[in-house]
Amino acid sequence: MNRENILVAQNMASKLFAAEEAIDTALNKAADLAGFMPVARHEARVSAEVGQDAIEHLLESMRMLSEARKRMIDTHGALARTQASARLAPRNFGGFIDKPRYQDEAHGLSIITAERQAA
């Protein structure tokens, strides 16, 4: 694949990661608002029915954000398949965001046997 196509793929990946991050940020902010709404009602000393419709609308918007996130994951998969069919290896442009690596190992935990415990 030529250099121009690699640059196009890098630009595509960058925009994809930005879109994924935007949805996650929106979901995070909506969750923060959802967590605060009952606290605000309590602090304002109003009945539980005050703002209930707002909570329901917010929760519906969060459901929609979750659906958007799922669709973005599907988009990512479709682009990965396109990338493979174009024979553009992931190492050609890598990830543009920091993300934890998957580790298939225990995280510092171990089983303590009776013999070891007695020692």
Span 105-117, average pLDDT:
59
Tokens 């929609």, residue? 64
Three-state DSSP state, 96: coil
Structure token digits, residue 62: 């969060």
> For 67-109, how does the pLDDT look when each residue is reduced to its tens digit (9 = 90+)?
999 999 999 999 988 887 877 766 445 555 555 554 545 555 5
Nearest to 35 by CA among 64, 60, 55: 55
